[in-house]
Amino acid sequence: MPTSVTARARINLALVKYWGKRDARLNLPAAGSLSVTLSGLGTTSTVSFNSRLTEDRLFVNGEVVRDHRLERASRFLDIFREKARCRERAEIVSFNDVPEGVGLATSASAFASIGLAAALALDIGDDREELAKLVRLGSGSASRSLFSGFVEVSPGIRADGEDYSVRTIASPDHLAMAILVVVVSSARKRVGSREGMEHTRLTSPYYGAWLQEVERDLALARKAVLEKDFSNLGRIAQRQAFRLHGAALAAEPPLLYFSDVTIRAIEVVRDLASRGVECYVTLDAGPSLFVLCRIGEEEEVTRALARIEGVERVVAERPGHAAEVL
């Protein structure tokens, strides 16, 4: 009989970003990161283990997937199978609310939802600290989506990664702010985060400086969250994004994740800020962006962003809750 569990996880936005590993095999980050889990957009996944299956199967948004994503998902399930001493193959059925591959961290909500569902289907239990260590192996940012509100990752120093940890430092309602997700599509083939950060580490002369600044910004961002200081948190989040992209641009060959639409959106945010509408922009490894602003001003900011040619949609979010079983 199949054992089936459905879980949902939302995407998370890194305010202090993860870009570089201290151990590629264990997928251990070189530095800490700090994120906010969003309230809406994410992935719902059903994982069903079944002794009658001869291989793993993956369906994303109703379509069967047979490319590298199946291989990656299958290796991810192996981690849970090994832990549970189970050999059964599984079927994963995932639905994403946002497009993949445009810099919206769908891998975080995908791996968090699949990991949580697999752990419960195999009776591994729901200890989030322990699950974070397993989910991290699928995608480094995914472990943060297991937690609610403002979430900090500590990379640890042990070679076996056992002191890696993730925890909520403040609940979703601790600091009121709006997070606008600006969806920009791109036909361009881009370099995924996993490869991109390794390429930056190996070839960018700015990688060392980037890591040093992350350590500093992490302490400042934590303080800003705890003090409910939106302005400082926004400033740190914005410079974090530009520093990450600065290090990536200095790699050889350079990594450019921005599109023309990204640049136009950055200009609109600057223009709003210069007119006294406090908002900050941040982005990950793709052309889409996130804009932080105060509640009450989100409609004005959304209108300005939605007018930009090439912006597909703008979704207003708030800090939100941890991955959950449905």
Interface with ligand PMV (CB under 6 A): 14, 17-19, 33, 105, 107, 139-141, 193-194, 284-285
CB 83 within 8 A of CB 124: yes
Q: How far is the CB of 228 from ligand PMV (least distance, A)?
A: 22
Q: Which helix (H) or strand (E) holds 155?
A: none
In the complex with ligand PMV, the residue whose CB is nearer, 13 or 305, is 13
Closer residue to ligand PMV in complex, CB, 43/141: 141
The one-letter code for the residue type at 91 is: E
Alpha-carbon distances of 266 from 5, 38, 237, 271, 284, rounded to whole Å: 41, 21, 14, 9, 13
CB of 205 to ligand PMV, least distance (A): 20
Q: Which is nearer to ligand PMV, 284 or 317 (CB)?
A: 284
* Residue closer to ligand PMV (CB basis): 18 or 280: 18
Tell me how far apart the alpha carbons of residues 109 and 106 are, in angstroms, rounded to a whole number.
5
C-beta closer to ligand PMV: residue 33 or 94 = 33
- CB closer to ligand PMV, 139 vs 204: 139
Report the residue number, 247 or 311, with the smaller CB distance to ligand PMV.
247
Write down the least CB distance from residue 12 to ligand PMV, Å: 7
Contact 75, 115 (CB under 8 A): no
In angstroms, give the least distance from the CB of 307 to ligand PMV: 27
**Among 96, 86, 148, 70, CA closest to 118:** 86
Strands 150-154, 33-50: pairing kind: antiparallel
User: What is d(CA 316, CA 155) in angstroms, rounded to the nearest whole number?
Assistant: 31
Nearest-approach distance from CB 218 to ligand PMV, in angstroms: 11
- Closer to ligand PMV by Cβ: residue 202 or 295: 202
Peptide bond into 205 cis (omega under 30): no
Structural tokens at position 30: 């070189």
- 279-282, strands of its sheet edge to edge: 279-282, 289-293, 178-184, 311-317
- Report, in Å, the least distance between residue 309 CB and ligand PMV: 25
In the complex, least distance from residue 11 CB atom to ligand PMV, rounded to whole angstroms: 9
203 sits in which H/E element: helix 193-203
CA distances from 57 to 25, 68, 109 (A): 24, 12, 19
Shortest distance, position 140 Cβ to ligand PMV, whole Å:
4
